[in-house]
Amino acid sequence: MHSYHLSQWILFFFLYSFAGWIWESCYVSVKERRWVNRGFMHGPMLPIYGSGAIVVLVSTIGVRENPVLIFLMGMTGATVLEYITGAMMEKLFHVRYWDYSTQKFNLNGYICLSSSLCWGCFSVLLVRVVHVPVEDLVLRIPALAEEWIALLLSVTSAVDLTQSFNEAMDMKRILVQLEESREQMRQMQEKLKSASEELAEEYRQRAAAFAEEYRKRAGEKAKERSSRKKAYLGQIHIRREEYIHQLTLLAERAEKLLREELPEKADGLTGRERRRRDLESIRQNVLSELQKLGERTDRSYLRAARQLRRNPTAASRKFKEALEEIRRSMDNQ
C-alpha cells in the first residue's frame, strides 16, 4: 500500500463517507418507501463508514495480499470502532443511532455477528477491489489542489457537524424534559389522590375528556396543514395545550383542597400537615412545569424531527416513551 500524506487520508475519509451515505440512504429509503437522507449529519456523508474504511486500510497495511487476514483484521478493527462510536453517542445523546438489540449474537445492541461479518467482507472488497481505482484517482490529484480540496471538505463538514451536534443536543434536552414532565405529572396525580380520592377521580375524568377532545382536534387540524412542517408543529401545539389543561386542572384541585378545611383522619395533625405540604408542592410543580413547557420551543422540536427523519431506526432505552411521543407527532401529519 502506498504511503499517503495527511491530505490524501482526508480525501479517502470523505470519499468513503460519501459512498457509505449512498448505500445507507438507498437501503433505508427502500425500507421506508420514501427518500431518507440517512445519517447524523445533513450533508451526503456518513463518518462511520469513512472512519471504518480508514481503520480497515490502516489495520491491513501489512497483510494486503492475504484475503483471510484482511477479513479478520478489517472485521476486528471496524467492529471495535462501531462499538466505541455507538456507546459514546448513546452516552452523550441518550439515543442509539443504530440498534442491533433484535439481532442474534449482539453485544449491548452496538454490534452483532452479522454486522461484523459484513465489515469483514467489506474489508476484503475495499482493499482488493474498490480502493485500487480510488487510490489511483487520489494520487493523480496535484498536491496543491489535493490540499485545498481536503481543507474545503474539512471546513464544510465541521460546520455541518456543529449544526448536527446542536440538533442532537436539542433532541436530548427535549427527551429529558418530556420524561421529567411525565414523572412529575405522575407524582402530582399521586399526591392529589392521597389528599382526596373524590377530586382525584374528578380530575382523571376531566383530563380524559380533554385528551379525547384534543385527539379529535389533532386529527382535524392535520388535514388542514399545508406542509409537513406545519403539520408537525400543529401536533406539538395540540399536545402542549392538552398538557397545559392537565396542569391547570391539577392546580385547581389542589387550590380547592387548600381552601377547604381538611378532614381529621387517624393520622392526626402530622398527616394533615403532610397533605397540605403535598398540595402546596403541586402548585409549585405546576408553575415549574409551565416554565419548562415554554423552554421547549418550536425550533427545538424541528431540530429533533430532522434528526429522527435522518435516523428512523433511532432508539432510546432511557427515554423510550418521550421519543415515541415525538415520533407520533411526526407520523400524524
Q: What is the reported pLDDT for 210? A: 63
Residue 137 has pLDDT above 70, yes or no: yes
Taking CA atoms, 314 is separated from 3, 142, 311, 331, in Å, by 38, 41, 5, 15
Torsion sign, CA atoms 89, 94, 97, 100? positive
56 and 192 share one domain: no
Nearest Cα residue to 50 out of 75, 82, 26, 28:
82
187 lies in a domain? yes
Residue 266 has pLDDT above 50, yes or no: no
152 lies in a domain? no
108 and 201 share one domain: no
1 lies in a domain? no
User: CB-based contacts of 61: which residues, under 8 Å, 6+ apart?
Assistant: 1
120 and 213 share one domain: no
Please provide residue 106's backbone torsions phi and psi, each rounded to the nearest 5 degrees: -100, 160
126 and 175 share one domain: no
Q: What mean pLDDT do residues 90-117 have?
A: 90
Q: Considering 141, 176, 198, which residue would you say is the last residue of a domain?
A: 141
**What is the model's pTM?**
0.76
Q: 104 is in which domain, residue-wise?
A: 6-141
- The per-residue pLDDT of the chain, averaged, comes to 83
DSSP string for residues in 172-229: HHHHHHHHHHHHHHHHHHHHHHHH-HHHHHHHHHHHHHHHHHHHHHHHHHHHH-SSHH
Q: Cell numbers of 271, please? A: 398527616
54 and 102 share one domain: yes
Q: What is the reported pLDDT for 269? A: 47
Q: Cell numbers of 3, please? A: 504511503
194 and 109 share one domain: no
170 and 319 share one domain: yes
226 lies in a domain? yes
Q: Considering 106, 141, 176, which residue would you say is the last residue of a domain?
A: 141
Q: How confident is the model at residue 312 (pLDDT cuts 50, 70, 90)?
A: confident
192 and 326 share one domain: yes
146 lies in a domain? no
242 and 111 share one domain: no
Q: What is the reported pLDDT for 195? A: 67
191 lies in a domain? yes
17 lies in a domain? yes
Q: What is the reported pLDDT for 1? A: 54
- Where does residue 265 fall: left (phi above 0), alpha (psi -120 to 50 degrees), or beta otherwise? beta
266 and 169 share one domain: yes
Q: Taking the CA atoms of the chain, what radius of gyration do you get in angstroms?
A: 27
pLDDT in tens, 187-234: 887 877 776 676 667 666 766 666 666 666 655 555 555 577 787 887
Q: Considering 141, 156, 188, which residue would you say is the last residue of a domain?
A: 141
Share of the chain above pLDDT 70, in %: 86
SS (H, E, C) 288-325: HHHHHHHHCCHHHHHHHHHHHHHCCCCECCCCHHHHHH
- Structurally, the chain folds into a number of domains equal to 2
184 and 326 share one domain: yes
284 and 323 share one domain: yes
153 lies in a domain? no
Share of the chain above pLDDT 90, in %: 33
Residue 320 has pLDDT above 50, yes or no: yes
